Structure 1
Amino acid sequence: MKLRNKILALLSVAAMLTMTACSNTNNTTQTSDSSKTQASETTNQKTADGKKVVNDALGELTVPEESKRIATTAAAHWTSVALLGASDKLVAMEEGYGKNKWVVKKFPEWANLPVVFAGNTANMEELLKAEPDLVIYATRYGDDFRKQLEDLGISYISDPKPDDSFTFLNRVKAKLVYYGEAIGGVSADIAKEYAKDFDDMYNKINEKTSKLEDNQKKTMLSVTSFDPITIINGSSIGQEWMTLAGGINVAKDATGDVGTSGRLNVSMEQVLEWNPSYIIVDNKGLKESIIQDTAWANIDAVKNDKVFIMPTGLMPWGYHGPEEYLMMPYIAKTLQPELFEDIDMEQLTKDFYKKYYKIDLDEEDISYIFSK
């Protein structure tokens, strides 16, 4: 096979390539305006071999008219592919949530998919065996990996071409639209429907919370690690969903050695000084560590039982995937319940997974997602 012949040249360098980590996190937070969509349309150009041209953040790229075999390098990618009605097109994925028991139960066809990407490393030999016609590429895998894809003649996409409307939340929507257009077929129409639903939800929340005075907003801290204490500052998507929900990120202006998605380590003294009224974490173990530790006992959020676990479905809702649609109302109802009495999060969740993932959630599923 043509692709397998090409891999011989690559194997002379290495079968397993460790790529330089390149974060695709933009550390500039802007006011979210979900009514805008970044430029992501196909150019309507066609290549001599029948491929189409798309406007990517990396430039004009060529992709199949309709992709049939897709490899993904991040959880937010394969959750997007599944939402776009193309879960059966996945042929390889990244190590992580895609192999947990709950996800595989919902998508049993993924159980035997090869894990080709892990720790910013790509196993090129296994990728070639999967025979993808499109790779959704995370820039943290580095330019060397992208160059290998080009040498092998494998199409890839990264992010939609940015414009002046960039916000993290808007980017979630824009990515879905872009992926839908790039994949082709029914995916493009599904993406447009998702974008409309996303805008409607954003605007519903913003219409109420934008009228709040500062003294009506709730202080909040997002904690991602207990030892060391790691939080997210203002250069993160969490900053945006907290602000949209009628909250104030107490760590917004925190500085230091900022890592991926605005994460940085802080001292217990700093947390005590901030004294947030609400804390959100992304797993049950982290919550237990916080509420059981005497150093945290005088934090208002701990004293008043306001430590919440970020819901997790196919992936944690608040980390750039399409389930971000649900994160917006979840945080809004958590921080401002009197404003959002009309939102039934369990029913909204069931409706979303049914519409976009063709999954019927039962009470056990709801318990899993909300970590009850």
Structure 2
Amino acid sequence: MKRRHFLLSLATMATALNGFATLAMAEERIFTDAAGRKVALPAKITRVMAAGPPASVLLYSVAPEKLVGWVREFKDSEKDFIAAPYRDLPVHGRLTGKGNTANLEAVLAMKPDVILDVGTVDATYASLADKVQEQTGIPYVLIDGTFANSPQSLRQIGELLDEKERAEKLAAYTEAAMQRLDKVVAGIASDQRPRVYYGRGPEGLETGLAGSINMEVLGAVGATNVAEAAGKGGLANVSLEQVLSWNPDVILTLDQTFQKSVLSDPSWANIKAVKDGRVFRAPSLPFGWFDAPPGINRAIGVAWLTSALYPGKSEIDLKAETRDFYKLFYHVDLSDEQLGKLLADTGPKS
């Protein structure tokens, strides 16, 4: 009799488990990511882990309450430009890109419903996504992070996270910014479009080659990346001799140390950009406007860069545009002091 009851209990449990499994399968949905991978997602997503910096910026912009943590720790100067509820989220490191620091234990410890990566989509990133997903059991989604695809990427994130209304507002803003940019650039004669060198780091000798995602905005504003002469690829180190031979019309950077040194260093003195005083530092709080990371943060950067490269050609009120962007994307109302700090010594007059 006891054995019979035991078998009946097992049968009941099995039926229940099968029922739960069937329900779980019914609640799952399939999402096709940018690599064409069919990813089974839970019906409700409340915790999302960013695999790298571009994903963290995009997630923070669309659904900050679902962001489980940051890929790096913020400096105090950067925290002022992040909304208070989110600036002190835990740091879990990055899974992708240069200097990846996260491991599978860190991933599991964050207990995300989904891992999201935004940026370059190729066989290498797809393979990594498959590997991490297989080892952790956590769905891993790839989204195309190219600048031209920004509005579509925002809408895909909205669909993925059930945040369509908010994502649409950001996508509409980004589309309008890109259309405005296209209109300005269309009115610039080809011989008036500058040849530009982008110097990363305190020495300014790291840059992006032809095809680098870090240089996309430069192409979008109609300028020429002089480092394309060094070949195709991502970020690379170059020599001062190469920069001298390229003789750019404009030098861009995010680094304040390099911006100051290049204007006083005699080694750079014969470069046209230095002679003409056209060494511009893009704003970088809390994220770079030109790069660092090459994410949705660049949507405000195009307004700044247009003003820097084509003075007098753009009718953008940069201060007003900056306030609007930071409110919409970063969830902060900028004070006059913050706005001044953000735009100080960055190049174009605002």
Residue equivalent to 2:327? 354
TM-score, with normalisation over the residues of structure 1? 0.75
Residues 197 and 226, structure 2, Cα contact 8 Å, conserved in 1: yes
SS of residue matched to 2:151: helix
**Cα 1:92–1:49, aligned 2, differ >3 Å: closer, same or farther?**
farther
Q: CA deviation at 1:344?
A: 1.3
Residue equivalent to 1:19? none
Deviations 1:42-98 (A, max 9, x none): xxxx972412211113411122333111111222112111211x21222233125xx
Residue equivalent to 1:8? none
Residues 117 and 142, structure 2, Cα contact 8 Å, conserved in 1: yes
Residues 65 and 183, structure 1, Cα contact 8 Å, conserved in 2: no
Q: Distance in 2 between matches of 1:152 and 1:327?
A: 36
**Cα 1:284–1:228, aligned 2, differ >3 Å: closer, same or farther?**
closer
SS of residue matched to 1:251: helix
For the pair 1:366 / 2:339, whether they are aligned, the reply is yes
Q: CA deviation at 1:221?
A: 1.0
One-letter amino acid of the counterpart of residue 328, structure 1:
V
Residues 168 and 237, structure 1, Cα contact 8 Å, conserved in 2: yes
SS of residue matched to 1:159: strand
Q: Distance in 2 between matches of 1:238 and 1:94?
A: 18
One-letter amino acid of the counterpart of residue 266, structure 1:
V
Q: Which structure dedicates a bigger proportion of its chain to helix?
A: 2
**Cα 1:110–1:276, aligned 2, differ >3 Å: closer, same or farther?**
same
Residue equivalent to 2:270? 298
SS of residue matched to 2:230: coil
Deviations 1:144-182 (A, max 9, x none): 67434334331221125xxxxxx9322333322222211
**Cα 1:251–1:174, aligned 2, differ >3 Å: closer, same or farther?**
same
Q: Distance in 2 between matches of 1:284 and 1:347?
A: 24
Residue equivalent to 2:111? 131
Structure-to-structure mapping, 1:81-230, within 5 angstroms: 81-84=59-62, 86-96=63-73, 99-105=74-80, 106-118=82-94, 119-137=99-117, 143=127, 146-160=130-144, 168-184=146-162, 187-225=163-201, 227=203, 229-230=205-206
One-letter amino acid of the counterpart of residue 337, structure 1:
P
Q: CA deviation at 1:253?
A: 3.1
Q: Distance in 2 between matches of 1:338 and 1:238?
A: 26
Residue equivalent to 2:237? 265
Q: CA deviation at 1:328?
A: 1.2
**Cα 1:331–1:60, aligned 2, differ >3 Å: closer, same or farther?**
same
**Cα 1:228–1:318, aligned 2, differ >3 Å: closer, same or farther?**
closer
One-letter amino acid of the counterpart of residue 139, structure 2:
S
Residue equivalent to 1:60? 38
Q: Distance in 2 between matches of 1:116 and 1:263?
A: 24
Residues 47 and 53, structure 1, Cα contact 8 Å, conserved in 2: no
Deviations 1:172-196 (A, max 9, x none): 3332222221111xx2222222222
One-letter amino acid of the counterpart of residue 102, structure 2:
A
Q: What do you get for the CA RMSD once the two structures are aligned?
A: 2.6
**Cα 1:137–1:220, aligned 2, differ >3 Å: closer, same or farther?**
closer
Larger relative contact order (CA 8 Å, sep ≥ 6) = 1
TM-score, with normalisation over the residues of structure 2? 0.79
Residue equivalent to 1:6? none
Q: Which moved more, 1:274-283 or 1:206-215?
A: 206-215
Q: Which structure dedicates a bigger proportion of its chain to strand?
A: 1
Structure-to-structure mapping, 1:336-351, within 5 angstroms: 336-340=310-314, 342-351=315-324
SS of residue matched to 1:54: strand
Residue equivalent to 2:303? 329
Q: Which moved more, 1:279-288 or 1:235-244?
A: 235-244
Residues 225 and 231, structure 1, Cα contact 8 Å, conserved in 2: no
Deviations 1:323-358 (A, max 9, x none): 211111211111112210x21111101011112332
Residues 79 and 314, structure 1, Cα contact 8 Å, conserved in 2: no
Residues 133 and 154, structure 1, Cα contact 8 Å, conserved in 2: yes
Q: Which sections of structure 2, spanning at least 5 residues, go unmatched?
A: 1-22, 346-350
Q: Which sections of structure 1, spanning at least 5 residues, go unmatched?
A: 1-45, 161-166
Q: Distance in 2 between matches of 1:356 and 1:67?
A: 21
Q: Distance in 2 between matches of 1:331 and 1:83?
A: 21
Residues 326 and 349, structure 1, Cα contact 8 Å, conserved in 2: yes
Q: Which moved more, 1:237-246 or 1:206-215?
A: 237-246
SS of residue matched to 1:243: helix
SS of residue matched to 2:59: helix
Q: CA deviation at 1:117?
A: 2.1
State the number of aligned residues: 311
Residues 202 and 256, structure 2, Cα contact 8 Å, conserved in 1: no
SS of residue matched to 2:200: strand
Q: Distance in 2 between matches of 1:231 and 1:152?
A: 35
